[in-house]
Amino acid sequence: MITFEGLVAALAVTFAVVAIGSTLPVLPTGAAVSGTAVLAAHYNPLAVPVVVAVGGLGAYLGDAATFAACRAGGEALTRRLRLLRQPWRLAGAVRERLRRRPVTALLVSRLVPGGRIPVLLTAAIVGLSWRSFIVSNIAACALWAATYSAIGLLSRNVFPQPWQGVVAAIVIVLAAGQIAGWVERRRQSRAGVGNGSGADVTP
């Protein structure tokens, strides 16, 4: 039985995990949201939107901190951390995506493993304004949190016990992340072969 106190504690942990993980990508942010959504659904289905709000807020604050750091570090940070294999070509592609569909670009960067920081860094390099970032990332983070909450709800409908749903949601999210990462690496590898070289492109 999920208590109110237990749900509040889970929400607090989720917020911390997502906020920290969105700044330092070392924590499973999506799995945290999915697992908490399972607990919330067992407590009261009306509590699930609270999970979406808490997860989205944590993601937004973490993204804002990362974007601020990227704007401060700029190109020097790109070269130092080698976050972008082909910074100038990627910068042009990301700039075009951000100009046409900023919400989609930021959302996809969150869903693709390892894609968030390079996109935020490139957005900072190409001069995405704070105003554009603030408006676009609200929707992107909300959609991201809703997506992972939905994954948790699917697990909850399959497994009767809360802990079973939490474990299933975490396993599903982690497995999906690994598969998506493998697909992305394969895509990048083929792109490198098609270009005749997998080496970094420097201006």
pLDDT at 201: 30
Q: Is 27 left (phi over 0), alpha (psi -120 to 50) or beta?
A: beta
Q: What does pTM read for this prediction?
A: 0.73
Q: How many CB atoms lie within 10 A of CB 56?
A: 23
Question: How far apart (Å, rounded) are the C-alpha atoms in residues 149 and 170?
Answer: 11
- pLDDT tens-place string over residues 168-187: 555 665 565 556 555 555 65
Question: How far apart (Å, rounded) are the C-alpha atoms in residues 46 and 40?
Answer: 8
Question: How far apart (Å, rounded) are the C-alpha atoms in residues 14 and 158?
Answer: 22
pLDDT at 23: 86
By CB neighbour count within 10 A (0-12 exposed, 13-18 middle, 19+ buried), where does 124 fall?
buried
Mean pLDDT of 85-94: 55
- pLDDT tens-place string over residues 98-149: 777 888 888 888 877 667 877 888 788 777 888 888 888 998 899 899 988 9
